[in-house]
Amino acid sequence: MSSSKCYYEILQVSRDASGDVIKKSYRKLAMKYHPDRNPDDTEAEACFKEAAEAYEVLSDQQKRQIYDTYGHEGLKNTGYSGPGNSGDIFSNINEMFGDLFGFGGRSRRRDPNAPVQGDDLRYDLEISFMEAVHGVEKEVEITKRETCWTCEGSGARPGHKPQTCPSCNGRGQVIRSQGFFQVSSTCPQCHGSGQIVKEPCTDCSGEGLVNRRKTVKLKVPAGVDMGSRMRLSGEGEGGRRGGPAGDLYVIIHVQEHEFFLRDEQTIFLRYPLPMVKASLGCEVEIPTIDGTAHLKIPAGTQSAKRFTLRGKGVPSLRGGSRGDMIVEVQVQTPTRLSKKQKELLREFEGLCKDEEQGFFTKLFHSHFAKADKEKEKA
């Protein structure tokens, strides 16, 4: 028995911890101190070994009961002297880590001769603002690796078959010893496939895949936005050994518009309006994503006033409702005035002055009358 420390302390659990809690704590410690993550660290190796020994005892109900009653001496009396004699220390790790460190139990090892699905591909598509709003159909040309028609993805010349790799006996993994541990890694001869192609296909040079250019039709739905993603099943790279093709993911990039802004389904428009029209009121024709629309501007409209046009926004990707359009008025002050225009404005200013003075006179008297009352109370 290699450790004399308390097994519960080693796994950092209480004595009444459940099996699931013990397993979770052991997994955490094993990942932390695993030799692949701590090369040439003897202290980490010792901690890893202690955790494995503690888990082997506490995960076995019978051994745990003996340990709880009689401690380490009780286990010795039953003939148990640590994981080195009672079974491979990796048996517990294989159960939980399998593919993580590459030495999983035989029942969990991936069959290197099984069909392999092709890789997924990404294509970045740039479209205009209006194409995103209304939808569009595009044809794009992509280069991808497809399953070789000649060898059907096996990599072997017709009439020949791949042979079992002699280095790994078809497992795709080779095991090497590092002192106390055994570490599994990808076979360098077959690169994990478990097979050697003696007579490679002349069309794909034994890869099972060939490069081809293909035109793909894309139907971009109305309402897509920047970063929207489309998935085309089976349009990725070809599979091997009879495996299915991967998928093609199209990422949408939307160009900015000259004067429209968009926030999800809402369209924003800043509309310049002459000062006179804002003062007197009018009806204007404004652009929308569907063409033009008429908007009534009431007299006395101030700059930054917003008007909402219901249903004039972006269609929903899910169908049905559409967003709104928000029109923000920006009142424009004239900068180049003729002599006649200036005279008319001065005349207009004179007409407004009495009204303005009357307003401020009332405000002035009201303010000081209130102040006098407060002084009298004091």
* Among the listed residues 84, 88, 89, the one whose alpha carbon sits nearest the alpha carbon of residue 1: 84
CATH: 2.115.10.20, 2.60.260.20, 3.20.20.370, 3.40.640.10. Which one for 260-332?
2.60.260.20
CA angle (280, 283, 285) in 5-degree steps? 140
How many Å apart are CA 24 and CA 11, to the nearest integer?
9
| Per-residue tens of pLDDT for the chain, all 378 residues | 555 788 899 899 998 988 889 888 888 888 788 776 777 788 888 888 888 888 888 888 888 888 888 787 777 766 665 654 434 444 455 445 544 444 443 334 455 556 778 888 888 999 999 999 888 998 888 888 887 878 777 778 887 777 888 878 777 777 776 555 667 777 877 777 777 777 888 888 877 788 888 888 889 888 888 888 888 888 888 877 667 888 889 989 999 998 889 988 889 999 888 888 888 888 888 998 888 889 898 888 888 889 999 988 889 887 778 889 999 888 877 777 777 877 777 777 666 665 555 444 555 556 556 656 666 665
Return the domain boundaries, the chain.
7-97, 115-145+206-256, 260-332
Q: What is the pTM of this model?
A: 0.54
Looking at this protein, which amino acid is placed at residue 24? K
Per CATH, is 7-97 categorized as 1.10.287.110? Answer: yes
Half-sphere exposure of 336 (CA within 13 A, CB side): 0
Q: Which fold has domain 115-145+206-256?
A: HSP40/DNAj peptide-binding domain (2.60.260)
Burial class for 12, CB neighbours closer than 10 Å (0-12, 13-18, 19+): middle
Do the domains 7-97 and 115-145+206-256 sit in the same CATH topology, yes or no? no
Instruction: Kindly tell me the sign of the dihedral angle through the C-alpha atoms of 238, 241, 242, 243.
Output: negative
How many Å apart are CA 33 and CA 11, to the nearest integer?
12
